[in-house]
Amino acid sequence: MLQLRLLLVWCATFGALVAAEFENLAHQKVVFLGDSITQAGGYVSFADYYLQKTKPALHAEVYGLGLSSETLSGLSEPNHANGAFPRPCLFERLGRLLERVKPDVVFACYGMNDGIYLPLDDVRFAAFKKGVQQLIDQCHAAGVKQVYLITPPIYDRQTDAAHFNYDTVLTAYAAWELTLKESGLTVIDLHTAMRKARETRTEVFSKDGVHPGDEGHWLMTKTVLSSLGLPLPELKLAEIQADPVFKQVDLLRRHRATHWMNYVGYTRQKTVPPTPLGAAVQQAQEIQQKIDELLAK
């Protein structure tokens, strides 16, 4: 009887903790940071769509503000982009982003570019670790309530024993991130989930080894949602993409990405100085109103 009572108490406590994860998004401004995978935005749009369809009372504002080629480590290959420009580093823009956008919750997915596509190295690994901790500390210092650190996707390219497999670097980065324990931080293990899913497939998620297609982005979404305690979506990818609600949600994500990125300003090959939002806020509200009207039907 005592064991049963303890089990019931544990289940109730665990259930409350899990439920609290997605409730952390209620009425919050949620920002997704990352490299080109996040800038592509598929998993961001899918996540916002699922939240709006199944948890409309959350009223979370979702902003996908990833930047192609970006790192946390501040490292770059000498020949990046054929020598045209070094990789951008998040910390060139993070201070302005936190000040101007004022997110309540931050999801961050880095690592793919931080190893510079070279074998595991203590110096590069240390730079990544320093960048991850700086991201967490800077977010919390700016008043961000919760940081969700998403381990990097897999490097999806087959190699043989005679060739270096870059995914071993990402595996090491992900394993280290999973050791981080502190208040206001949750680590979402995308890397392991994607590797397990890949082992059941013959087809790659990423044709170039780096950038997942739609199925990869959908897996990323399901992994994030599962970590928040939400049920894994049973919807099929084609059904989602055909839904008028998704089309408006994706439009909203693209609109916010364009205008709020410019509002913050960034440097990638050239410097884009911070620019006023102008009518962008009103236009975003109009898109959201269309979404609300579709959901009400």
Looking at residues 137-158, what average pLDDT do you find?
A: 96
For residue 188, being part of any structural domain is answered with yes
DSSP line for 273-297: -----TTHHHHHHHHHHHHHHHHH-
Number of domains in the chain: 1
For residue 77, being part of any structural domain is answered with yes
pLDDT band at 10 (very low <50, low <70, confident <90, very high): very low
What are the C-alpha distances in Å from 161 to residues 58, 98, 165, 194, 205? 49, 44, 9, 22, 22
For residue 6, being part of any structural domain is answered with no
Identify the pLDDT of residue 21.
81
pLDDT in tens, 82-112: 999 999 999 999 999 999 999 999 999 999 9
Question: 205-221 as b/e, with b when 16 or more CB fall inside 10 Å?
Answer: bbeebbbbbbbbbbbbb
The pTM (predicted TM-score) of the whole model is 0.92
For residue 257, being part of any structural domain is answered with yes
Percent of the chain whose pLDDT exceeds 90: 86
- CATH code for the domain of 252: 3.40.50.1110
For residue 8, being part of any structural domain is answered with no
Q: How many CA atoms lie within 13 A of 179 on its CB side?
A: 7
DSSP state of 236: -
For residue 9, being part of any structural domain is answered with no
pLDDT at 231 over 60: yes
Residue 92: give the domain boundaries: 24-296
For residue 244, being part of any structural domain is answered with yes
Strand 29-34 relative to strand 105-109: parallel, antiparallel, unpaired? parallel
For residue 262, being part of any structural domain is answered with yes
